[in-house]
Amino acid sequence: MSDPTPGAVMRGAVDLSSLRSRAAAPAPATGAEARNGAPSLVFDATDESFGQVLELSRTVPVVVDLWAEWCGPCRQLSPILEKVVVELGGRLVLAKVDVDANPQLAQGFRAQSIPMVVALVAGQPVPLFTGAVAEQQVREVFAQLLQLAAQHGVTGTVPVGEAAPDADEPAETALPPLHQEAFDAIEAGDYARAVTAYEQALAQDPRDEQARAGLGQVRLLQRVQGVDLQQARDAAASAPLDVDAQFAVADLDIAGGHVDDAFARLLDLFAQLPADERAPVRERLLELFGLVGDGDARVIRARGSLASLLF
């Protein structure tokens, strides 16, 4: 698995070797209690049970939500993750990991900030995102995860029983037509069509923040599609002031979850370039800030660094 898109293996970022040797079971028996006589799509995972989760990922993609009780953004994100997983009807499952109660998993995933969301495909860790993100972004990233899983033969599903309808629960609101078109295009791997759909949505409503966030995400996916990570790093190392070469690696780092590395690379480039050549780098930094989230601590630090270089 060498594709560096959200779907790429975390090279060196995760060490699950200490957890692989734990006894594995053929079904998500730990924490995945039966609901309506069928396995649950959302379950708790622990240091002791994670070998079973790794084994399950050979059949169906497993999304791992690393969270804690004290984490406000976690409480915002978790219901979104659960909702989207349930809507996908067993095509993937969600394993919730309380980092305070499971220090081995927190260390293995190198969870320096939470919420942190990764996935497992055929026992291999896959970076998704950190921080609370919008529901539309979650849908888009999960669509990419399913594509990646299919490429590696992980196409199973978890059978789920029919839940009794909740009279108090409001009916689900359908996506706006252009958002749905973008989502369908992403699932098909047609990023150009998704970009067009989001651009049209923004033209109709410039205040559509979900469309703006989705556009940033899909543009990133479009830029990193088919790019070889090692070749990109070699090109950037041999030409430290080549803006396009540095952009390529920064994009790959963002897609792979290495946000601080991406920001540091572009800030260093910005500092070294002549003043009249800096504008594209500043624009790319601002775009990536918006993609990660203005409230993210890494964005706040990087904005401060950029401001110090401007004045």
Exposed / middle / buried, residue 26 (Cβ in 10 Å: 0-12, 13-18, 19+): exposed
In angstroms, the Cα distances linking 196 to 5, 191, 212, 215, 255 are: 20, 9, 12, 9, 21
Q: How many C-beta atoms lie closer than 10 Å to residue 255's C-beta?
A: 28
180 carries an active-site annotation:
no
Mean pLDDT by 10 residues, the chain (311 residues): 34 42 39 42 89 88 91 86 90 92 85 86 87 87 89 81 41 71 81 91 87 83 86 95 96 82 96 95 92 79 92 77
Type of residue numbered 252: L
Token pair for 292:
């990660």
Residues in the chain: 311
- DSSP state letter for 38: B
308 carries an active-site annotation:
no
| Order of strands across the sheet that contains 93-98 | 42-44, 93-98, 62-67, 116-121, 124-130
What pLDDT, on a 0 to 100 scale, did the predictor assign at position 249? 94
Token pair for 31:
């924490």
The beta-strand segments (E) located in 153-257 are: none
Q: 45, 53, 54, 71: which is the annotated catalytic residue?
A: 71
What pLDDT, on a 0 to 100 scale, did the predictor assign at position 174? 64
Type of residue numbered 65: D
Contact partners, residue 169, CB within 8 Å, separation at least 6: none
Count CA atoms within 13 Å of residue 73 on its CB side: 17
Q: 14, 74, 120, 281: which is the annotated catalytic residue?
A: 74
Contact partners, residue 91, CB within 8 Å, separation at least 6: 60, 61, 146, 157
Contact partners, residue 150, CB within 8 Å, separation at least 6: none
What pLDDT, on a 0 to 100 scale, did the predictor assign at position 292? 77
What pLDDT, on a 0 to 100 scale, did the predictor assign at position 131? 84
Closest C-alpha to 4, from 241, 211, 262, 294: 262
What pLDDT, on a 0 to 100 scale, did the predictor assign at position 173? 52
